[in-house]
């Protein structure tokens, strides 16, 4: 992170909010790591659901046209549909909760003049405005006044 020390910048983070800012920053970083896993669970559940549904429809069509088909195929497909549906609902709920927590942190920080800018590479923190000279190191004591 390109961190400017407080002595080189006109902007500072509010000292009275230091503990809140630092704990929010740490939790935000944790959420950045948890969200891709939650997103992957939703994708997996979706693939299982739709794949199983296709197999179930295919098995149903074969039964309708009097083709021989082991009953286990339909049973496994139905189980996959149910698993994908239930696991997907739970995964989406978890993903929404994580996103909601992340959005709440961003909003709370913006209200006190702290901006979290999350790119794929890194998380940057700015005081007051999002400008390069206002970039701060949240965990550095010199960033607070």
Q: What are the tens digits of pLDDT across the range 29-78? A: 899 999 999 999 999 999 999 999 999 999 988 888 878 878 899 899 99
Residue 121 lies in a domain: no
Give the confidence band of 125 by pLDDT, cuts at 50, 70, 90: confident
Q: What is the pLDDT of residue 11?
A: 65
Q: What is the pLDDT of residue 6?
A: 40
Q: What is the pLDDT of residue 1?
A: 40
Residue 56 lies in a domain: yes
CB 134 within 8 A of CB 126: yes
Residue 2 lies in a domain: no
CB 45 within 8 A of CB 88: yes
Residue 3 lies in a domain: no
Domain count, the chain: 1
Q: What is the pLDDT of residue 4?
A: 37
Residue 98 lies in a domain: yes
Residue 10 lies in a domain: no
Rounded Cα distance between 36 and 86, Å, is 20
């Amino acid at each position: 992170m390109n961190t400017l020390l407080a002595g080189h910048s006109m902007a500072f983070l509010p000292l009275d909010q230091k503990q809140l800012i630092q704990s929010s920053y740490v939790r935000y970083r944790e959420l950045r790591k948890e969200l891709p896993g939650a997103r992957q669970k939703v994708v997996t559940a979706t693939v299982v659901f739709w794949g199983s549904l296709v197999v179930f429809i295919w098995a149903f069509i074969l039964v309708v046209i009097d083709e021989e088909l082991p009953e286990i195929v339909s049973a496994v497909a139905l189980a996959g549909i149910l698993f994908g549906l239930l696991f997907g609902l739970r995964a989406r709920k978890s993903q929404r909760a994580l996103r909601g927590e992340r959005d709440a942190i961003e909003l709370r920080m913006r209200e006190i003049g702290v901006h979290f800018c999350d790119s794929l590479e890194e998380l940057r923190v700015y005081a007051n405005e999002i400008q390069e000279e206002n970039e701060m190191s949240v965990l550095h004591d010199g960033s607070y006044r």
